[in-house]
Each structure stands twice: as structure tokens, then as C-alpha cells.
Amino acid sequence: MKVILALLFALAIVAVDCWASERPNIVLIMADDMGYADTGFTGATDIETPNLDALAASGVTFTNGYVTHPYCGPSRAGLLSGRYQQRFGFETNPAYDPSNPYVGIDPSETLFPAKLQKAGYRTGIIGKWHLGAATPFHPNHRGFDYFYGFLGGGHDYFKIDLRQPVKEGYLQALERNGKPAEFDGYLTTALCDDAVDFIESSKGDPFFLYLAFNAPHAPLQAPAEAIAKYSTIKDRKRRLYAAMVDVMDAGIGKVIEALEANDVRENTLVFFLSDNGGPQSSKQQPGKWNGSSNAPFRDGKGSLYDGGVHVPFIASWPRRIEKGTVYNQPVISLDIAATAVALASDRLTAMENMEGVNLIPRLTGDDNASSREFLYWRESGVRWSILNANRTKHVLESPNGKPEMFHLPADRSEQNDRADVEKELALQLHEQWLAWNKLNVDSRIESYRKYHEVRDQFFLDSIPEKAKEQGYSPTPIRTLK
């Protein structure tokens, strides 16, 4: 009997070891403010993205891939938590303020990289954080062994200049694991080079790398040689934007080459997506456009029409995903967290509270893969949207307007409102959204613009009345030249 028990125990150890060795490395690449139509695999003809196109061809293209929010911070909060960010009150972009321990992603939220850590993964983030700049929100405290990048929502692509007002931190020093860091040359390239170093230093352990670009987010800056490559594009913004995407694509190529050079590409699951749609001009904000295209979708960043939340979205895992796969059912960024945790951990408890689905069974034809009926959105607590499995979308884009409904397979640009034609379906969808919304909380973060107004007024109010009586009148802070 003892011999049998010992044998069973040994077999169990072997089984666990085999399972552990099969676990993939995971690389999650996120672009910033990238338009849906600005890659070759989504139809771009004036911007070259050979590395992204090859990545898409090597795996699956999700033709109906979505994110949980139409702009940066909340979208990333949903991505890394694996839960709708409205569940924990993260519904706007937080201000950059390293001294404020209250403005950031709820410390009680367990981000999925922390779950991968517990499963034995080495975890790293390189690039943009945008989930709070103070100590409680720091990446090294939220599931990442390694961090190189910046804590705010963006950065200048060529320089650091600590003589300038801090504001949103675009000229602040980068950091590496809590210590100030610099970069040489162009920021996007520096981030990719650091990603290559992370891969090369992770030999022997399964790893998770989150390469979070700020490209092609403003400011529109690119190396001269990249801009010259697109000299035939007449519009200046589009030309600069194209150059930024081009350099990012080249850097992604370096990352894939590093996976191949270290003999881990076959068993590495690589995701790519944008955090939201590209900004588009409007009557209210005519200068908002960053040169991107979201064709054929309506509107862009900030909007709950598809232009704001329908993004380029691909996954590649040579060992498990058949190359050239096209998946047409709706998926959402929440699914990345669920997929990663399902692959990395053998404990069902690791999946608790996660709201995405494991995508791998859907891509490998598993008949037992659970179905999903709805995707949901809410912005600023008032604008909302819901999408059902048949891709009928009910949306309230303007708080002062009326809800609309579109059947997306026949109306990708959301021009033919069917809310009055199919009133019963519209009512059912709204009731479903209301049921989902009951589990949400109000935003616990003020918008960064409002935050700066309140903070500036606080400092003005701190000036003694006696100084004001004596004629002291502070001048507005301006960027020094």
C-alpha cells in the first residue's frame, strides 16, 4: 500500500511539473490612442505595420474586439483588474500627483499580474501606468516585480526637464523600480529595448510582460527619419502619427525577435490591442484629432459609439492557436486577464470575481466553452451602452439625448437607429444594463482637469490674508522657455 501511495504521489508531482512546464509566457502589448484602421491587418494602406501584420497572421484576429472604456486610465484599470472598473469606482483619468495616496486604483483590488506572481511568474511592466502615482498604487506594490516607465498618462518622447511645472508629469524623470531613470533617443524605442532586456533576463521562469506604450498618444513627436518616410502624406498630423505608429511597430518586431532568439516564442502568448479608439475632431473640440482613423466606426476616443471602444485586437500563441484564425464573436479586454489567470494557475479561486472569459477554449473549438450574452459600458455615470451576442447595441451617447439602437452586422458605422422600430428589444437591453449597473459604484476619482483646478485654488487660498492685503498677487504658473 505504501508503495502504491508513493507511486501515486510521484505521478502527481510529475503531472504538476508537466502542467507547469506547459504554461505559456504571456506578453501583453497595448498601444495608446491608436485608431482601429491604422494597421495593415485592419486596412491601413498609408501606414506600414509589417510586424503587427505578421503577428496577426501568426495567430487570431478578433474582428470585434472591445475595451471597457473609451479613454486611457479606466480602460487600463479594467484590463489589469479583469473586472469592469465601475465595480470599484475608477471611471476617469486620475491626476498625476505622487503626494496623493487617495487618487488611484483601489488598493483592495487584486490585479491579475499579482495572481500570476503567486503562480510563479516573473512579472514586468514597461511604459505607461496611469493608475495612480502615489505609493499605494505603484506597480511594484500591485503585482509587478519589475517596472520601467512613467506613472502618469503620458510623456514627452525625447526629453526630461525637471525645471518645468509638473502638471501631468510629461517631463518628469522615468523610473526603474522606484528609482529615477533616464532614456536615450526616442522613448518608444527605449521602452522596446527594455522589453527585450526583460525577456532575456527571464530565462528559466515563466514570465508576464506588460508593454504599455504611450504611442501614438500626444504629443505628436517622432524621429526625423521616420517622419521623412511618410513625406507623401500631406496632412501634418497624419504624417507624424504614421511615423509614431511605424516606430512602435518596429519596436514590437524587436520584442518578437527576442522571444525567438531566446527559444520561447512557440510557447509565448502575445496579445496586442489599443486602450481606446483614436481621438477625432468635433465641433466642441476641433483640434482633438491626433491623425488617426477609426474607419468604418463612428466617432472616437471618449465616445461610446464603436469608434471609442472597438479596437485592433489580436493574439498569437504558435503552440495552441492556429495561424490565420479570424474570430468574429465579440471579445473584450477583460478576457485577457481571465485567459492569463486560467493558463497560469491551477486554482479555481484565482478566477474569483473576474468578469472576462478564457479565450483559448473558444479558439480551439471546445464545445464546453461557456457563452456570453452581453458586454457593458458606462462613462461618467450617465452615458451607457450594452452589446448583445447578436451584436445589437443599445447606447445613450449624450446625456441630453435619447437612447439609440444599432444592429452592427448591417450597420458598422451606427447610422441607422432602430430604437423606435424595435422598442421591445431596446427595452430588454436597457433593463439588462440597469441590472448590471446595480453592482457598480460612483466614480471615486475626480477628473484630472477638475483636480488641478481644486488643487490650484487650494494653494492660492493658502496665501495669508496679510500678504494679500500688502499687495501680493501671485502670477499664474507658465511653462518656462
Q: Annotated active-site positions, please?
A: 72, 130
| Measured distance CA(79)–CA(77) in Å, rounded | 5
